[in-house]
Amino acid sequence: MSVFWFLFAVSLALLAYHHLVYPLWLRAVPPRPPQPAPAEGPWPSLGVVVPAYREAGHIEAMIHQLAALDYPKDRLEILVVCDGSPDDTPERARQALAGLAGQDHAIRLIDHPVNRGKVAVLNDAIAALRAEIVVLFDASSIVPADTLRRLAPEFRDPATGVVCPAYGLAEGSAPGETAYWRYQQGIRRREAAFAAPMGAHGAGYAFRKAAWAPLPAETINDDFVLPMRIVAAGFRLVDRPDIVIGDREIARAGIDRRRRRRLGAGNLQQVLLCHQLLWASGWRMGLLFASGKALRAVAPLLVLMLLASTIGLALTATGPLDILPLVAVEGVAVLALLANRLPRGRLRALGQALRYALGSYLAMARGILDLAMGRFDDDRRLADRREPGGALVLSPLTRGLKRLFDILIALLAFLGLLVIGPLIALAIRLDSPGPIFYRQLRVGRALPDRTDLFHLIKFRTMRVDAEAGTGAVWAAKGDPRVTRLGRFLRKTRLDELPQCLNVLRGEMSIVGPRPERPVFFSKLEAEIPFYVERTFGLKPGVTGLAQVSTGYDATIDDVRLKILFDHSYALKVQSPWAWLRTDLAIIAKTFLVMGLGMGR
The class level of CATH for 44-249 reads alpha beta
- Asked whether 163 and 240 are in contact (CB, 8 A), the reply is yes
Distance of CA 493 to the CA centre of its chain: 26
How many angstroms separate the CA atoms of 585 and 402, rounded? 14
How many angstroms separate the CA atoms of 594 and 378, rounded? 42
How many angstroms separate the CA atoms of 514 and 445, rounded? 11
Position 380 scores a pLDDT of 47
How many angstroms separate the CA atoms of 474 and 514, rounded? 13
- Strand pairing class (133-137; 204-208): antiparallel
Q: Which residues of the chain have a pLDDT value below 50?
A: 254, 379-392, 600
Position 470 scores a pLDDT of 63
Position 385 scores a pLDDT of 39
Per-residue buried b or exposed e for 403-419, using 16+ beta carbons within 10 Å of the residue's own CB: bbbbbebbbebbeebee
Q: For 498, how many CA atoms within 13 A lie in the half-sphere containing its CB? A: 21
Neighbours of 526 (CB within 10 A): 8
How many angstroms separate the CA atoms of 378 and 386, rounded? 13
Burial (CB count within 10 angstroms: exposed 0-12, middle 13-18, buried 19+), residue 97: buried
Residue intervals in the chain for CATH 3.90.550.10: 44-249
Q: Nearest Cα to 119, choosing from 214, 212, 196, 45?
A: 214
Position 379 scores a pLDDT of 46
How many angstroms separate the CA atoms of 341 and 348, rounded? 8
- Sort residue 597 into left (φ over 0), alpha (ψ -120 to 50) or beta: left
Three-state DSSP class for residue 353: helix
- Strand pairing class (437-446; 451-459): antiparallel
Provide the total of helices (H) and of strands (E) in the chain, helices listed first: 20, 12
- Cβ contacts of 508 within 8 Å, gap of 6 or more: 444, 454, 456, 499, 502, 515, 539, 540, 541, 542
- pTM exceeds 0.75 for this model: no
